[in-house]
Structure 1
């Protein structure tokens, strides 16, 4: 119990620090790297709370796809990484404060309606003992069984779509160099020896 609480406190603290660094750094690449670190910490928190499917979904979708895509886009566009230091950030501070208040109110309203006033919750949330849960079937096993049996064709089609999109991105982003000297085998085979050999007198 004490180890779970310590791990939860560590991952929660790292999540807050990472989220602060994402919005405070002026380097876009560093912000994306801290965003990936934030997603990893959130995945660890979900794993401690027993939502193993959502934890793996965070790693696969957000870290493996979206965050890496952001990193590739930032590095591929070759934008000015360092923002101008003379920019006045006080102009956008009221908008950020207003959005923060709206987000906090939405969170408080959703907690009040769905959790505090709900009568379906009998017991308080408890920590998951993973040594005990490892001997029983988990949500990932149940979803994997359904995914690879009933929806296997759709799963293969999604993989095919992702493969085509990956190849399309590679073709669009590759830089073709036109000034390279290339070897043309056809011209070499059909050449005329009389035109290619030239005799010159050294006298």
Structure 2
């Protein structure tokens, strides 16, 4: 699950908002005083530190809610830790259609549809688990293992030979994986020289030449599937 892109975590929230979906052009950011659901398009979450540093946290696809913190943390005076150590910002990486929810609307929906609140709790726990796995990977795993984990989450179903989709520029992929883009390129060249995969930096697909070795590098085990 490390470095996965989340998709369709909150399908049940589509068309629940009292507002029609709005178009947010590529590059748009989102005010913190609403929760949103991404009806179509793609977003990334970036952490911005006080000294100007940036770190891509994850990507979201359609059918996912974001900025749920207004529901979980608003009015909570007993938080043991400050949430203001960094500024977290969602940005549209392509044109997006989004619906938004005010805090008052969320409260009304929660009273009428507790199943929707349960869905939010479940998807939020998935995000926490994803973030925890990424922290571990960034702390203790090799560059090559991180690359394989990223690609393993983007395998193209039914591809023969087995291929993975590289759905972002190399510099963004490097940021997500916690390394410099030159380091990422060297790790991919190392994997290519070992015959593990084949890639062209101008292509958005990477061919997996040794699936068993690839998945063992990514997960420590080989999935029970045929290649």
Query: What TM-score, normalized by structure 1, do the two folds share?
Result: 0.23
**Which structure is higher in strand share?**
2
Query: What TM-score, normalized by structure 2, do the two folds share?
Result: 0.22
Q: Which has the larger radius of gyration?
A: 1
**Which structure is higher in helix share?**
1
